[in-house]
């Protein structure tokens, strides 16, 4: 059974999205719909299936819908139509209590711009998800301290985020996500704000952690080289539609159409697959 499934997902932003759903389903031009109705189709008929322990990359240019897509998995964004399943259960049917449990126990998210609370120390940030869960102060700090050590931040527990480098702040974000021991990690362009050397180091940290922990990971990126290096499979998005889902080798050697071929042409030859 797939760990995460998105079935025929449509997301339309605007005051009355259901009123234009039929037009979006019919494939009408995005610009025309926006001009005539004031609505923006963000996702159009997305079907994705992510296996347990898979590093699944969602790839595309800015504005293609990839960040909107990933936020459906923890219901930060609600679909206009479709289903979101985790472990075979449609999470759109969850009441508030089950949704809170999903967000505190099952799914954790790492954001592009770190998402740390500037007035809290490193260990307070890392322990925050456990605090929300209701874990006692001493226990949650002990767990957070262990994860900070795992990501290479031993000795920085009492520092404030402003005193850390970008790479170190992102390590805090990863420690905070892993401290809750989630089944699923959502990584929304987590390394795009980092310089190339620090990004490479964070790739190494992530690969080592994944080798040990075997989490199910949905990783959003606009960097094809990053997707090819890290991903077990890659979904290529364009204007809210999935153009292809493939392994890195398949994407480079057998692109599904001219758009994917043009996207990978200059990058694929640089990557050792």
Coarse DSSP helix, strand, coil percentages of the chain, rounded to the nearest 5 percent:
45, 20, 35
Mean pLDDT of 86-111: 95
Q: Choose among 17, 15, 61: nearest CA to 41.
A: 17
- Residue 209 inside a domain? The answer is yes
The answer on pLDDT for 105 being more than 70 is yes
Within a domain: 17: yes
Q: Look-up: residue for tokens 């389903």?
A: 25
Task: Flag whether 149 is in a domain.
Answer: yes
Sorting pLDDT into bands at 50, 70 and 90, what band is 211? very high
Q: Is residue 180 part of a domain?
A: yes
109-151 pLDDT tens trace: 998 776 899 999 999 999 999 999 999 999 999 999 999 999 9
- Residue 154, number of CB atoms within 10 A of its CB: 11
Q: Residue 216: which residues within 8 A CB-CB, separation 6 or more?
A: 3, 4, 50, 51, 52, 53, 54, 56, 183, 184, 185
CB 177 within 8 A of CB 110: yes
Is residue 273 domain-resident? no
Residue 101: partners with Cβ closer than 8 Å, 6 or more residues away: none
Tell whether 102 is covered by a domain.
yes
> How many structural domains are present in the chain?
1
- Compute the distance between CA of residue 250 and CA of residue 175 in angstroms, rounded to an integer: 33
Q: How many helices (H) and strands (E) does the chain have?
A: 12, 10
Task: Tell me the average pLDDT across 215-241.
Answer: 95
- Tell me the pLDDT of the chain averaged across its residues: 93
Alpha helix segments (H runs only) across the chain = 21-25, 30-37, 66-70, 96-101, 122-126, 128-133, 137-150, 166-179, 196-213, 224-230, 248-253, 258-268
Residue 107 lies in a domain: yes
Q: Is 75's pLDDT higher than 80? A: yes
Domain containing 88: what range? 4-268
Tell me if 54 is assigned to some domain: yes
Residue-level length of the chain: 273
- Token digits of residue 91: 């999470």
Instruction: Identify the sign of the CA torsion 117, 119, 121, 123.
Output: negative
Which residues, listed in sequence order, are joined to residue 99 by a DSSP beta bridge? none
Instruction: State how far the Cα of 108 lies from the Cα of 170, in Å rounded to an integer.
Output: 14
What pLDDT is stored for residue 161 in this prediction? 94
Q: Which residue has the higher pLDDT, 190 or 41?
A: 41
* Token pair in block for residue 61: 């240019």
Domain of 86, CATH number, reads 3.40.50.300
Residue 93: other Cβ atoms inside 10 A: 9
Distance CA 15, CA 178 (A): 37
């Amino acid at each position: 059974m797939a760990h995460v499934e998105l079935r025929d997902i449509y997301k339309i932003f605007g005051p009355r999205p259901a009123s234009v759903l039929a037009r979006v389903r019919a494939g009408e031009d995005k610009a025309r719909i926006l001009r005539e109705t004031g609505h923006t189709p963000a996702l159009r008929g997305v079907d994705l299936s992510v296996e347990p322990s898979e590093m699944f990359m969602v790839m595309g240019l800015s504005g293609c819908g990839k960040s909107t897509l990933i936020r459906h998995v923890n219901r930060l964004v609600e679909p206009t139509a479709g289903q979101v399943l985790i472990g075979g259960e449609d999470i759109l049917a969850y009441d508030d209590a089950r949704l809170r449990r999903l967000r505190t126990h099952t799914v954790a998210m790492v954001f592009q711009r770190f998402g740390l609370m500037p007035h809290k120390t490193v260990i307070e940030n890392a322990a925050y998800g456990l605090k929300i869960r209701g874990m006692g102060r001493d226990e949650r700090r002990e767990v957070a301290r262990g994860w900070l050590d795992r990501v290479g931040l031993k000795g920085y527990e009492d520092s404030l985020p402003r005193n850390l480098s970008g790479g170190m702040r992102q390590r805090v974000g990863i420690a905070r996500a892993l401290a809750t021991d989630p089944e699923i990690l959502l990584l929304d362009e987590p390394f795009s704000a980092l310089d190339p050397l620090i990004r490479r180091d964070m790739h190494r940290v992530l690969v080592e952690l994944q080798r040990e922990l075997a989490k199910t990971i949905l990783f959003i990126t606009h960097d094809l080289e990053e997707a090819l290096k890290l991903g077990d499979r890659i979904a290529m998005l364009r204007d809210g539609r999935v153009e292809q889902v493939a392994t890195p080798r398949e994407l480079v050697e057998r692109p599904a159409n001219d758009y994917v071929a043009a996207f990978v042409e200059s990058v694929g030859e640089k990557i050792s697959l």
